[in-house]
Copies of this chain bind each other. A is one copy, B any other.
Amino acid sequence: MSQHIAQRARNIPPFHVMELLARAQALQAQGRDIIHMEVGEPDFPLAPTILEAAQRYLAQGRVDYTPAAGLPALREAIARHYAERFGVAVSPERILVTAGASGALMLAHALLTEPGDHWLLPDPGYPCNQQFVRAFSGLPQALAVDASSAFQPRADQVAAAWTAQTRGIMLASPANPTGTLIAPAELARIHALVKARGGSLLVDEIYQGLSYGTAPSTALSLGEDVFVINSFSKYFGMTGWRLGWLVAPQACVRDLERLAQHYTICASAPAQHTALAAFSAESTAIFEARRAELDVRRRLLLDGLEALGLQVPARPEGAFYAWADVSAVAADAAVLARRFLEDAGVATTPGIDFVRRQPERWLRLAYTTEVGRIEEALRRMRSVL
């Protein structure tokens, strides 16, 4: 039987960072000391409050299905988090708990994307977004953004790129791979424009909480009509648990809940029960200490990269990435990343995962490893250059 492979599944580029991680792990298995700056996963252990919550839940001895949209107590806790931390009223009904932000993106596009629909995606951006659009036979449209707007889209660019086929725009703040935030006034202009065009605005806030200059904000403050994606992976440090959420307009909740019932049954019950502990004062104290530690790493890395001749043209104010222009020191970032890994044991991610225009210029470095290791990585990278 030769299977027919659907268009969406043919010629998907690999998520290179994952293949690079595999190579780094293989080198490590051979006994090499590898410094990991390639994957968006901090090196912190589980917060003790999270670990204890997981252990308490398990000790009950039952792990049953939850409602499709998530545990009511968790949806309420997320709603309280929006009220207390951002001063935004979000009804718990509008919050659907999902298997990571991935599950939220899948649900949102299942809800919104018809075959042939166009979505504007800032380039550089999170590569999987293209595949969520393509999953539902939509057509991702790269919206080129550059350092002049901190790699965030501007309303005039969105207006110029919008066509009759455009269903909506996705953006992220803080963004991956650049770590940059969108200016609130610009986001408000984009929101107004999308609203006027009858489209949908989908904002990825999975790095919310991890910002180092300005206080965290949410696009939900713009109105009830914005779709917001979030996650327990980054600020809350729960990567492997695979838990996130979608905030949707009230009018879409019933349809989304039915999609979730059919597509997933529910998100992981242990993850949901554990995440109830993520918003306590004790947990917040831990997460804020970690944020301060990430800020120290960030400054160290940015200074170090500059000293190496790698330019970071838009200073990252959030997430845990630096997006470096290597053109002053190397002709091809992919070759450079390979040399960093093979010759110096430093794993980084070449730009090809994240950007279509001039991927050879860009390298993403995650400051997800401790200060001493970042210093060592900088020394090793210098030896290669």
Bound-state CA distance A198–B3 (Å) is 7
What's the nearest-Cβ distance from chain B to residue A204, in Å?
Answer: 14
Chain B residues with Cβ below 8 Å from A132 are 262-263
Within 239-298 of A, Cβ neighbours of B (below 8 Å) are at: 239-242, 249, 251-252, 255-256, 258-259, 261-271
Bound-state CA distance A68–B128 (Å) is 13
- Asked if residues A259 and B1 are in contact (CB atoms below 8 Å), the reply is no
Which of A99-107, A149-157, A172-180 has 4 or more CB atoms under 8 Å from chain B? A99-107
Contact among B9, B64, B240 for A63, CB-based, below 8 A: B240
Chain B residues with Cβ below 8 Å from A264 are 99-100, 102-103, 242
Q: Residue A184 at the B interface, CB < 8 A? A: no
Bound-state CA distance A264–B252 (Å) is 23
- Asked if residues A249 and B3 are in contact (CB atoms below 8 Å), the reply is yes
- Asked if residues B1 and A200 are in contact (CB atoms below 8 Å), the reply is yes
Q: Which residue on B lies nearest to A99, using beta carbons? A: B99
- Asked if residues A9 and B255 are in contact (CB atoms below 8 Å), the reply is yes
Q: Residue A212 at the B interface, CB < 8 A? A: no
Which of A10-18, A311-319, A324-332 has 4 or more CB atoms under 8 Å from chain B? A10-18
Q: How large is the interface on A (under 10, 10 to 19, 20 to 34, 35 or more residues)?
A: 35 or more
- Asked if residues B268 and A242 are in contact (CB atoms below 8 Å), the reply is yes
- Asked if residues A3 and B225 are in contact (CB atoms below 8 Å), the reply is yes
Chain B residues with Cβ below 8 Å from A111 are 3, 5-6, 9
Q: Which residue on B lies nearest to A195, using beta carbons? A: B1
Mask for A227-248, Cβ within 8 A of B = 1, else 0?
0000000000011111000000
Q: Residue A345 at the B interface, CB < 8 A? A: no
Bound-state CA distance A269–B261 (Å) is 22
Contact among B54, B201, B267 for A242, CB-based, below 8 A: B267
Besides A3-B225, A14-B261, A131-B263, 18 other CB < 8 A contacts? A1-B200, A1-B225, A4-B114, A5-B112, A6-B113, A6-B114, A9-B256, A41-B64, A65-B239, A100-B265, A102-B263, A110-B135, A135-B136, A240-B266, A242-B264, A242-B267, A242-B269, A268-B268
12 contacts between A and B (CB under 8 A): A1-B195, A1-B200, A3-B251, A6-B110, A9-B256, A9-B258, A46-B58, A65-B239, A102-B263, A136-B136, A136-B137, A241-B270
Interface residues in chain A, defined as those with a beta carbon under 8 Å from any beta carbon in chain B: 1-10, 12-15, 18, 22, 39, 41, 45-46, 51, 54-55, 58, 61-68, 99-100, 102-103, 106, 110-115, 127-128, 131-132, 135-137, 167, 194-195, 198-201, 223, 225, 238-242, 249, 251-252, 255-256, 258-259, 261-271
